[in-house]
Structure 1
């Protein structure tokens, strides 16, 4: 395990832009600041879109991209990202490809949208002004939704005139629940100032029952911060002593999601047999889960029937290549919302397109990874 964990950590660090949050002069911001337009040389961005990294007054950060727009400004897309990790270094804004690259943020920027991508509290900026640490509340959708809407507010303030009033929200993986919670938050008075510009939300692989996923991942991710929400909780109530120690190791190395996979997905027994009998399971679900509440539509749900992390029946009652395979669908849906086109049907409408080839013939995970061609180990000196 140690060699593979070390390889994962070193690779993750190689993907930082400007040295990561602890070295980047922009982070952490102690007052509202905006870096405009940002240095594209530090990113793997496609040619064309400009990048900026707007900060907010609360401990938060984010990233964004936009192409040249006309008239009232570029239509905004609030992008709520997947689980990248749990500590400051896992912020997508600290990543050269903004973590999801052409899957969403770069694709939307090239389509003419202004992409606003919050990191969520605890990622990017992890310390308060008094030095206390802000822990990322992983999978607490309602909290991250408010992070996202506050970052949208801050972006409109920092880049006044560049963004049109209209906006769409799109979220994937962890962000699917966040996107769903955004439409629930918009139904309240807390964000009434943003409500008029809202035109729709896309939730890709939404999880409306956080603990229905792979428990070997979900419980350690959630458990490491749960005592900040539910005082009295101890990680040993869910995990075996070995996995409690591994969770502490994850904190010490500031590991992200890939490091957690090395530590938790080993085939060993890492969960206590009685973890579902602990009161905190249901208490957490009531606080964290999106769904089953009034929300402001329209809402497009994209879900893969062969999703290995989030069961199809959980979403329909209650992951991975869905964004890529449905790209033209959700891009057109976003365009239709910005152009004010009415939905063809009202109410809950379901369709299930069939794959062109048998499912097993498709690749479920990406194989190539970007590396920095300018690094000394990849350079050749010619004489």
Structure 2
């Protein structure tokens, strides 16, 4: 690591109580999951009663293979065996630096807290990534599945670098954006996770078949998600230029992407008509092709059993997309796929209502 960077990080020890990892040999390449810094984390009350937390800054890998920095939490339960790790992958929080759940409890959503609490109650250590670009500099590759997947897996590596006594076995649990990322992580695990052993993936209301869903979003109250998705594509593919896709009324509102988080973004765009959101009210075919390429899970085989949970009243990820398209796509491969439907559950309540059953499923994977 650059000597000046090491000195700057070291200065944080006395100022902020941050622990800086020991420098590796000058000739050694830093591996993904390497912990750059760790510090005591302030947790939501319902989680601080169950665990102690560290906020970590660790290395991950971009989809082009370059090193990137990610942040997240490592939560150690106060009771239980503590040696099994579950990676929690959060739902959409926004695009900007300040939208990292590890430092902004306003976007550590209540349903996410319930899911994590259920895992802690069972004695699992939880590694919860923020994904690149949230809590760090640079663009957040929103909904870029293979970026999320690497950050998720590398959060487990980071947890084990903090505590080598943790098992190499791990399970992934994710919601919405995180549910999509969890499915991508299952696809790359064998090739990417080194000596780790993925035992299963729980995916709650995951985004899928984005190219099928996206044309129906302009003009709806959730179209802020689509604006974020355009900028997520741009983060990895400069050929996608959001300002050429968005109509003038939408372009006038894009400042909220850097100043706000999810709720502010949804509010800013919710009342635009389709033609006020995108030019001529229709997404270009090029964008749909890129969404399919970067955002759709189930393009390659998963490497461990899968649980998918979906509410029938989901307003963000329609039930029919999951049940009619994603589940058959996953079932085309050899890994077992369990599909649990929660009648009347919304995008968020599906997490809360399934928190204990999902945690039980996770425990069964370790057993």
- Residue aligned with 2:280, SS: coil
- For residue 43 of structure 1, report the CA deviation from its aligned partner: 5.7
Corresponding pairs, count: 302
- For residue 90 of structure 1, report the CA deviation from its aligned partner: 0.4
Q: State the partner residue of 2:50.
A: 48
Q: Assess if the C-alpha contact under 8 Å between 1:210 and 1:218 holds in 2.
A: no
Q: Assess if the C-alpha contact under 8 Å between 2:38 and 2:55 holds in 1.
A: yes
Matched residues in 1 for 2:258 and 2:306: separation? 40
Match among 268, 287, 308 for residue 263 of structure 1: 268
Provide structure 1 residue ranges, at least 5 long, that are not aligned to the other structure: 1-22, 127-133, 340-383
Q: Assess if the C-alpha contact under 8 Å between 2:80 and 2:122 holds in 1.
A: no
The alignment's C-alpha RMSD in Å is: 2.8
Structure in which a larger fraction of residues adopt strand: 2
Matched residues in 2 for 1:257 and 1:243: separation? 16
- Residue aligned with 1:115, SS: strand
Matched residues in 2 for 1:97 and 1:64: separation? 19
Q: State the partner residue of 1:135.
A: 139
Q: State the partner residue of 2:69.
A: 59
Q: State the partner residue of 2:182.
A: 179
Measured against aligned partners, the alpha-carbon deviations of 1:168-221 in whole angstroms (never above 9, x if no partner) come to 10010110100000100114x232422xx3211100012212341644123210
Q: State the partner residue of 1:246.
A: 253
Q: State the partner residue of 1:110.
A: 121
> Residues 146, 79 of structure 1: CA spacing in aligned structure 2 closer, same or farther, 3 A cutoff?
same
Structure in which a larger fraction of residues adopt helix: 2
Provide structure 2 residue ranges, at least 5 long, that are not aligned to the other structure: 1-14, 24-33, 60-67, 327-346
Matched residues in 2 for 1:97 and 1:236: separation? 29
Q: Assess if the C-alpha contact under 8 Å between 2:205 and 2:350 holds in 1.
A: yes
Q: Assess if the C-alpha contact under 8 Å between 1:308 and 1:320 holds in 2.
A: no
Q: Assess if the C-alpha contact under 8 Å between 1:48 and 1:110 holds in 2.
A: yes
TM-score by length of 2: 0.74
Matched residues in 1 for 2:256 and 2:42: separation? 31
Matched residues in 2 for 1:113 and 1:277: separation? 45
Matched residues in 2 for 1:135 and 1:293: separation? 26
- Residue aligned with 1:45, SS: helix
Match among 158, 175, 190 for residue 162 of structure 2: 158
Matched, 1:332 2:339: no
Q: State the partner residue of 1:125.
A: 136
